[in-house]
Amino acid sequence: MKKDLLRPIFWENDSLKLLDQRQIPGKKEWYVAKNSKDAIFAIREMVVRGAPAIAITGLFGAVLELKNFSLKPDYQTFQNILSQILESRPTAVNLRRAFEELSSLFPKETFEKISLSELQQKSEEFAIQVFDEDIRNNLALAKNGVSLFPSSPSKLNIITHCNTGALATAGHGTALGVIRSLKEFGHDLTVFADETRPYLQGARLTAWELMEEGIENYLITDSMAGWLMSSRKIDAVIVGVDRVAANGDSANKIGTYPLAVLAKHHGVPFYIAATEKSFDFKIADGSQIPIEMRTQDEVTRLNFLKNEKGEPILPEGVIAPVGVKALNPSFDVTPASLIKAFITEKGIVLPDKIKDFFG
Ligand code: MRU
């Protein structure tokens, strides 16, 4: 029997329930957001993460905030709510695109005319639509991804990075969605998941999703990918993305760029799986993508995960000299020249064709 789709985000009776990804794989706990502040906390502290899931959480955060008003806010207050949520994490473009679409439903003149309940209802409908679309698009892109591989069941070895699964989206996932669909197709799949230092999305989340799904997998440290590509046949690297610039340069989780360089060196196809919502044609190239810098603690400690009270979730585990300076850029940019193709819900597209492709 087919397993139910793993879902990290629930919108039920005006409440936003998020599977707390800081706790996985230890336990499955739900974080309930009641207003935009809670949604901002959830995004910033990575209760929820992954570009599509951030956008959906941000949208419902705005809906929650609007539902807390008993008198209609003025236009500026509405815009301020969106800008505050938008500041929560800078690199992924999905949230900005979602808010631009939401705002376009209420140009200033329309906004002045509608009632509070219309504003609340239309915003909620839009958030639900984005949520539903994300699952549909992920299933469509995964199907397109499957078309890149042999048409009869084969032995496939795939490397992935970070977590791009159901946890990072409304469901199914992008890169991990392609991997899920390859398995459903009947391929004999082995997935090598980079642990993804320093935040360990690969170790904590991807390994967990793959094990839950019954997909054969090995966890590797990020530094092992070169050894792997030089010592056995790897059929593809498939990763997700946070923002694609107009020339195809792609910002994704730190460690993606070296993986792409290794893939090029070893002749392994390097694919990026993403929906159109991750493309940002307003910026010419990757140098204009803001790279989030996160706390040094994530580099110097193993117990950087904290609960709402600020207490460590894991036991003490410092791994570097106290006081050492550390860098922690959370994303890097893979030049378009290293990307074989983008796997999208609308088809497979080459990096130099993305602008024409999406019109
Ligand atoms: O810092 P994170 O965990 O939000 O980073 C996530 C990634 O880099 C993903 O690859 C990207 O958002 C795509 S998720 C479908």
Record the tokens describing residue 330, joined without a space: 């959370």
Pick from 280, 276, 299, 21: nearest CA to 163:
21
Same domain, 102 and 174: no
Ligand 1 centroid – CA 192 distance (Å): 17
Q: Give the pLDDT of residue 228.
A: 96
Range 92-111 average pLDDT: 97
Query: Within a domain: residue 154?
Result: yes
- Percent of the chain exceeding pLDDT 90 equals 88
> Containing domain of residue 86, as a range?
3-139
Q: Give the pLDDT of residue 304.
A: 77
Query: Within a domain: residue 316?
Result: no
Record the tokens describing residue 265, joined without a space: 């060196």
Specify the number of domains making up the chain: 2
The CATH code of the domain that includes 61 is: 1.20.120.420
242 is catalytic: yes
Residue 18 has pLDDT above 80, yes or no: yes
Coil, strand or helix: which one is 61?
helix
Same domain, 159 and 118: no
Same domain, 244 and 119: no
Residue 34 has pLDDT above 80, yes or no: yes
Would you place residue 3 in the very low, low, confident or very high pLDDT band (cuts 50, 70, 90)?
low
The answer to whether the CB of 201 is under 6 A from ligand 1 is: yes
The answer to whether the CB of 254 is under 6 A from ligand 1 is: no
Q: Give the pLDDT of residue 315.
A: 66
Pairwise CA distance, residues 192 & 218, whole Å: 5
Pick from 69, 83, 46, 49: nearest CA to 119:
69
Range 158-183 average pLDDT: 98
Encode pLDDT of 231-254 as tens digits.
999 999 999 999 999 999 999 999
* 225 carries a ligand binding annotation: no
Identify the domain boundary among 89, 118, 139. 139
Cα-atom radius of gyration of the chain, to the nearest Å? 20
DSSP string, 279-290: EETTSSSGGGSP
Same domain, 177 and 71: no
Least confident of 58-67, 264-273, 312-321: 312-321
Do 14 and 35 form a contact (C-beta atoms < 8 A)? no
Residue identifier of the C-alpha nearest atom 6 of ligand 1 = 50
Encode pLDDT of 281-321 as tens digits.
999 999 999 999 999 989 988 877 777 777 777 666 767 66
Same domain, 86 and 168: no
Q: Give the pLDDT of residue 328.
A: 85
Q: Give the pLDDT of residue 1.
A: 41
Same domain, 343 and 205: yes
Would you place residue 2 in the very low, low, confident or very high pLDDT band (cuts 50, 70, 90)?
low
20, 22, 43, 49, best to mutate for ligand 1 pocket (most atoms within 8 Å of CB): 49
| Pairing between β-strand 15-19 and β-strand 217-220 as defined by DSSP bridges | unpaired
Pairwise CA distance, residues 73 & 310, whole Å: 33
Encode pLDDT of 221-231 as tens digits.
999 999 999 99
Q: Give one word for 46, left, alpha or beta, with left for phi > 0 and alpha for psi -120 to 50.
A: left
* 121 carries a ligand binding annotation: no
Query: Within a domain: residue 270?
Result: yes
Same domain, 218 and 250: yes
Encode pLDDT of 331-347 as tens digits.
999 999 999 999 999 99
Identify the domain boundary among 97, 112, 139. 139
Pairwise CA distance, residues 134 & 175, whole Å: 14
Catalytic residue among 38, 222, 235, 242: 242
Question: Cβ atoms within 10 A of the Cβ of 111, count?
Answer: 17
* 51 carries a ligand binding annotation: yes
The answer to whether the CB of 120 is under 6 A from ligand 1 is: no
